[in-house]
Structure 1
Amino acid sequence: MKVATRFSHNIPKLVCPNGEDGLIIYTKYLNCVVEIDAEEMTMTLDNGVTLRQLSSEAAKGRLALPYAAYW
């Protein structure tokens, strides 16, 4: 099994394990913020949420990321 994002630059048939018998999970539409709990300072997100979406939604809940990945 492989996860492919909307930013993936791979050709799915080439990255899929076991050739055509493998499974690819595409996260393009798994991009929702499920819950923001400002009191607990937590967010629950789908796994396709981008860092930009995460930062924007966190700000709406008066939250911020203590650090972020740099690529």
Structure 2
Amino acid sequence: MELLKTWVNNYNAGAGILAFEEIHALLGCSKIFAEVYISELCRDGFIQLTGGGWAASAYTLTDKAKFYAIEQNWITE
């Protein structure tokens, strides 16, 4: 969930959409691990694909992720 927390912070700072390569760099892991982690976040409804294939894909947070961030106290007023 650390990536999701970082993503929420980036969203709050104005960067709501992340490309696969940006996510891969944030994770600092193998490409396959990044793909699996992204798939899990999509499956769990925290992010959604906004276009492209794996090489040119971009993802955004869902409302579920935003509510989860508030519940986890990652975001405060």
Alignment TM-score, normalising by the size of structure 1: 0.29
| Bigger relative contact order (CA 8 A; separation at least 6) | 2
Highest CA radius of gyration, 1 or 2?
Answer: 1
Name the one with the larger strand percent: 1
Name the one with the larger helix percent: 2
Alignment TM-score, normalising by the size of structure 2: 0.28
